[in-house]
Chains A and B, each alone.
Chain A
Amino acid sequence: MATAETFYDVIRRQGITRRSFTKFCSLTAASLGFGSGAATAMAEALETKERVPVIWMHGLECTCCSESFIRSAHPLVKDVVLSMISLDYDEMIMAAAGHQAEAILEETKAKYKGKYILAVEGNPPLNEDGMFCIDGGRPFVEKLRWMAEDAMAVIAWGACAAWGCVQAANPNPTQATPIDKVIHDKPVIKVPGCPPIAEVMTGVITFITTFDKLPELDRQGRPKMFYSQRIHDKCYRRPHFDAGQFVEEWDDEGARKGYCLYKTGCKGPTTYNACSTVRWNEGVSFPIQSGHGCIGCSEEGFWDQGSFYDRLTNLHQFGIEADADKIGLTAAGIVGGAIAAHAAVTAIKRVTTKREKADA
């Protein structure tokens, strides 16, 4: 592996002259109202600061995160990969293979101890000592722990790494486990979604490289800037929800008029993501805009929440298909019946007791 490029190298590589570069630094320093030494300091920082090395690993996953990532428009993924970060290892898109590839990991671990970012797509299965996912001749979980030891931070891409996703769905035979349940001594940034929005992925990376710090996380470990509001809070169909106008059937008048999809099982009210603001494919659309409810793919255990088309979760503990309301109503009915029976017995007892007393 060659020495890592600095930002200055990247700027020069893109055809910007040294003269333009120093002008840019002076102008920026002046326009921001910094002192006379600032221009030199900025130039020096850009000349010496190396791009952040990123190691991108894949556990049990479907690669939809990578597929999403390469479609980022703002910033363009080529700018992220070629200019902002130093993507030293990515099983999906790197040229190296076999021992060469493994050597990169060794080298990064030694050379950039505590400085590189470990981005993980997918999760490790822990059952049978991790034998359900073998990577480079050893269980993926070992490789993950080994690379996480010296990382600055771990990014958990997608629902798999953040929550477990489909491979962790009940009964989870391989015991697929989210990253934060395996790596405890490093900051884990969860970027859930199946896949996460491309701009959210590049946005998280851009934040880290630009400000040289990790984004502020919420209680669940997700970046606040993208995951602190629900789909429902910024949904353009929200006025129909408040008005009480719902799609009742898929082909009804409400569906044509773009009413709220709450009754057809939209999980927007319980899903934290940026779909209704950032949207997908360069902001073209998002599921609800296309007429289908949100399936809550960025939420914990979304595969185990029953049908995508029901508001209430199926509770499988009861053996039959039932939601909270059906169970509650049935229980209330049983209790009501029991009370009626109890009242009847009480009445009979009372009558017989009175007779006994009268007879006595």
Chain B
Amino acid sequence: MTLHETLPADTHDEKAIERPSVYVYDAPVRIWHWGNAVSILTLALTGYLIGSPLISVSGEASANYLMGRIRFIHFAAAQTLTVLLILRVYWVFVGNVHARQIFYVPIWSGRFWKEWSHEVRRYMFMTRQTKKYAGHNPLARFTMFLLFTLPLFFMVITGFALESEGAGRDSWEYVLFDWVFSIWPNSQDIHTNHHLGMWGIVIFVIVHIYVAVREDIMSRQGIISSMISGERFFKDMED
């Protein structure tokens, strides 16, 4: 990683101060992040409504297509999310070092676990010292891998398995994902797990937003803006 020296204007003293910044998240990663955010919001809402449908509409069945539309939106958002995920996995191999962070956890690295436990202690208010990381801190990386990356793949796989049920036995969805039915022969179980996966991701989103806002304030590093501009600023110059 390379440190760029950027020169933001200081409005009070009318002179430029130097703040170090690192280019962390390149454009594909940022596009993926926000594309994901929109798709996941859509998927969670429509998915919930598929499991627990809205109150019945009146009139002839031929004049209504509410459930059909909700399901269409769910499937369309799912396909979008999947295409984005495929591009993202491609970017793991060609992007910068930060692009592969949340796709694996270096469980073999002693340093990782040392820093990980430091972050846990910091969140338990046991230490006040903030360490600077260009990308995710080890705890964030660990949590994202466990509570986001893995569930995301799980949701895509179970989702396509469920879609194959309607698409039919000769559909590409079934050809690719029929093995899911060997794990859970009764697709009712796949439905249940797909629901649980949704709630897992909802919980991740709650924690994710809280931690991002909190870190932005507390750690004196640009967290939220880094997912928009790609650059992370370090507000304190010491160390």
- Name A residues whose Cβ lies closer than 8 Å to a Cβ of B: 163, 218-220, 224, 228-230, 232-233, 239-246, 248, 254, 259, 262-263, 267, 269-270, 296, 299-302, 305, 311-313, 315, 323-325, 327-329, 331-332, 335-336, 339, 342-343, 345-346, 349-350, 353
Q: Does the CB pair A331–B169 fall under 8 Å?
A: no
B residues near A346, Cβ cutoff 8 Å: 125, 214, 218
B185 interface neighbour in A263, A300, A329, Cβ under 8 Å? A300
B65 interface neighbour in A232, A243, A300, Cβ under 8 Å? A243
Q: Mark B89-128, 1 if CB is under 8 A from A, else 0.
A: 0000000000000000000000000000000000101001
Interface centre among B56, B187, B199 (most CB of A within 10 A): B56
Cα distance A245–B203 in the bound complex, in angstroms: 31
Q: Does the CB pair A254–B56 fall under 8 Å?
A: yes
Interface centre among B61, B67, B168, B218 (most CB of A within 10 A): B61
Chain B residue nearest to A233 in the complex (CB):
B166
B52 within 8 A of A: yes
| 26 residue pairs A–B, Cβ–Cβ below 8 Å | A219-B181, A230-B165, A230-B166, A242-B61, A243-B61, A243-B63, A244-B53, A244-B57, A244-B70, A245-B61, A245-B64, A248-B56, A259-B56, A262-B53, A267-B188, A270-B187, A299-B185, A305-B186, A311-B52, A313-B188, A331-B199, A332-B202, A332-B203, A339-B210, A346-B218, A350-B218
A residues near B206, Cβ cutoff 8 Å: 332, 335-336, 339
B residues near A312, Cβ cutoff 8 Å: 51, 191-192, 195
Instruction: Describe A's contact surface by its main secondary structure.
Output: helix
Q: Does the CB pair A313–B192 fall under 8 Å?
A: yes
B54 within 8 A of A: yes
Cα distance A339–B192 in the bound complex, in angstroms: 27
B198 within 8 A of A: yes
Q: Does the CB pair B210–A343 fall under 8 Å?
A: yes
- Count chain B residues whose beta carbon lies closer than 8 angstroms to a beta carbon of A: 48
Cα distance A327–B196 in the bound complex, in angstroms: 8
Cα distance A270–B191 in the bound complex, in angstroms: 9
Cα distance A244–B70 in the bound complex, in angstroms: 9
B residues near A343, Cβ cutoff 8 Å: 210, 214
Closest beta carbon of chain A to B72's beta carbon, Å: 10
B182 interface neighbour in A163, A219, A228, A245, Cβ under 8 Å? A219
**With contact pairs A245-B57, A353-B128 given, residues A324 and B199 touching in the complex (Cβ less than 8 Å):** yes
Cα distance A178–B52 in the bound complex, in angstroms: 34
Q: Does the CB pair B61–A246 fall under 8 Å?
A: no
A residues near B193, Cβ cutoff 8 Å: 324
B55 within 8 A of A: yes
Q: Does the CB pair A349–B203 fall under 8 Å?
A: no
Q: Does the CB pair A305–B61 fall under 8 Å?
A: no
Chain B residue nearest to A302 in the complex (CB):
B186
B62 within 8 A of A: yes
Closest beta carbon of chain A to B169's beta carbon, Å: 5
B199 interface neighbour in A230, A242, A332, Cβ under 8 Å? A332
Closest beta carbon of chain B to A329's beta carbon, Å: 7
Cα distance A219–B174 in the bound complex, in angstroms: 11
A residues near B64, Cβ cutoff 8 Å: 243-245
Cα distance A28–B203 in the bound complex, in angstroms: 69
B186 interface neighbour in A239, A243, A259, A301, Cβ under 8 Å? A301
A residues near B45, Cβ cutoff 8 Å: none
Q: Mark B211-230, 1 if CB is under 8 A from A, else 0.
A: 00010001000000000000
Q: Does the CB pair A300–B186 fall under 8 Å?
A: yes
B residues near A262, Cβ cutoff 8 Å: 53
Chain A residue nearest to B213 in the complex (CB):
A343
**With contact pairs A299-B186, A313-B192, A339-B207 given, residues A240 and B199 touching in the complex (Cβ less than 8 Å):** no
B163 within 8 A of A: no
Q: Does the CB pair A305–B188 fall under 8 Å?
A: yes
B26 within 8 A of A: no
A246 interface neighbour in B53, B192, B214, Cβ under 8 Å? B53
A residues near B56, Cβ cutoff 8 Å: 244-246, 248, 254, 259
